[in-house]
Amino acid sequence: RKHQEIRAMRSQLKKIEDLGAAMEEALILDNKYTEHSTVGLAQQWDQLDQLGMRMQHNLEQQIQARNTTGVTEEALKEFSMMFKHFDKDKSGRLNHQEFKSCLRSLGYDLPMVEEGEPDPEFESILDTVDPNRDGHVSLQEYMAFMISRETENVKSSEEIESAFRALSSEGKPYVTKEELYQNLTREQADYCISHMKPYMDGKGRELPSAYDYIEFTRSLFVN
């Protein structure tokens, strides 16, 4: 909505440009009533318009990530908040040191190196977010990087299903309470038991202490 408001102001700028052209024709080249110039205003409007488009694209990218890649809204908020925290001058971009500090705050285990020493791990990240090495990482570049990294951690339903099948003796289509507690942390097992439905056999009978991991896994990915 804000971007549309900015676009609508273009007609106001056109009036100023027409007035500026009329003043030039009258050889009035010095305007003591304002420090702004027609060219300067046009450049600032263009920058604001470009910023609006970038921000809109960034938001669309985040919405798509939330809807299609499994990246949670909470994770996206955390990424954005961390960027803003390290963007001390509110420029909308981080220098390399700020970016590194931001990654560490998000849990990246980057090695500490002396100034001037090679830092291959961080350099490989910069190859993705700042390939031309202009020294800065924009919010859009940063969010795209974080979304891609987060997406890499999202496994397919088939992989999760196979992992549960490996826990289940003889690859049964259900997993028992004992198998869950033997192979997972207590918190993980508690979560599974509270969210998995009891397993029903072919005749619709409920098996004692048996849980349907296939239905559980597929319902997670549908949601």
CB 66 within 8 A of CB 147: no
Angle at 90 between CA 113 and CA 95, to 5 degrees: 25
pTM of the model: 0.46
Q: Which residues pair with 163 in a beta bridge?
A: none
pLDDT at 223 (0 to 100): 47
Report d(CA 142, CA 125) in Å as an integer: 11
Return the structure tokens found at 111.
Answer: 């090695």
Q: Show pLDDT as tens, one digit a residue, over the chain (223 residues).
A: 888 998 998 999 999 999 999 998 999 888 888 888 889 999 999 999 998 888 888 788 777 766 666 677 788 888 889 999 999 888 889 999 899 999 988 888 888 877 778 888 888 899 888 888 889 998 888 888 888 777 665 566 777 888 888 888 777 889 999 999 988 888 888 888 998 999 988 888 888 889 998 888 877 765 4
Q: What share of the chain is helix, strand, coil (3-state, %, to 5)?
A: 65, 10, 30
pLDDT at 222 (0 to 100): 58
